[in-house]
Structure 1
């Protein structure tokens, strides 16, 4: 059996490059105005209406403890699958899709203490890029709080 290549979407946040497995990415959209979501976990910036579907927009800046920055029309949104939930990730810019040879993903970083949300790392000529695992991006408590906050949006508000 031939090992299959691994595809990732590269994006930048505060000048640093990160990646997501391409299998988790559904589409890329331009940044749009968000609707606040009361009682949502801190990592949730708000809601985005994407063709009639209300999706939570997650702030990678907050999650990675980067300085806050106002939403800009030049920002990009990545619509992605985070386990059973569709979410939108707010990033500074999406860059490109890379097809990496099989065995290129180094899974060692995900076993280091304090490195949550990481599926592994890829060594590129420009440096190391962490590949994030969206299935572990929200804690169980954050997921439950988000479900509760989203349930409040369908109750006539």
Structure 2
């Protein structure tokens, strides 16, 4: 029961923060199915540079995207610390190669700011908003945009 002096509490959102292209990004925790160590994938012919291939995930074959390359930030270099974030976008499950996973971030809805108007439609589509964390700005990734074929460099 609410105290008479208190209003309703603001909605809390939880995000997993990670690094791609030496930049900070996050996904809502409800979109993430698991986080796996990087293992080589099966490459497919005639795929864009940011599609690394496919991975067998307990019988389901899922595409693996290099998120840094997808966002125009260069290819992710091979590193044993790299991880694959397995995420769900509607009925589609995908893997995102990132440099590292950092932390769980809990924020109020009011802490999520609109993506600044930087005259880039690709950026506005790929980034749902930004969260200021200390001196850092963390971008909230739009998984639908990661899957979109009509994209360009965004950040």
Go from structure 1 to structure 2 and tell me whether the alpha carbon gap of 1:123 and 1:112 turns closer, same or farther (over 3 Å shift). Answer: farther
User: What residue number does 2:134 align with?
Assistant: 125
1:94 aligned onto 2:116: no
Indicate if the aligned counterparts of 1:35 and 1:47 stay in contact, CA closer than 8 A.
yes
- Residue correspondences, number: 142
1:39 and 2:32 equivalent? no
* Rg larger for: 2
Separation (CA, whole Å) in 2 of partners of 1:33 and 1:51: 16
User: Which is richer in helix?
Assistant: 1
Could you tell me the TM-score, scaled by structure 2's length?
A: 0.80
CA distance in structure 2 between the aligned counterparts of 1:131 and 1:47, rounded to whole angstroms: 25
1:14-61 superposed Cα distances (whole Å, 9 cap, x missing partner): 322111111211110100111002233443111111222211001112
Which residue in the other structure is 1:14 paired with? 21
User: Residue deviations 1:74-131, cap 9 Å, x none?
Assistant: 2111000123310000000001111112311112437853313111000110321111
Give the alignment's Cα RMSD to 1 decimal: 2.2
Q: Quote the Cα distance in structure 2 between the aligned partners of 1:77 and 1:57.
A: 8
CA contact (8 A) 1:117 1:134 kept: yes
Q: What 5-or-longer segments of structure 2 have no aligned partner?
A: 1-7
**Structure 1 stretch displaced more, 61-70 or 21-30:** 61-70
Secondary structure of the corresponding residue to residue 109 of structure 2: coil
TM-score, with structure 1 as normaliser:
0.79
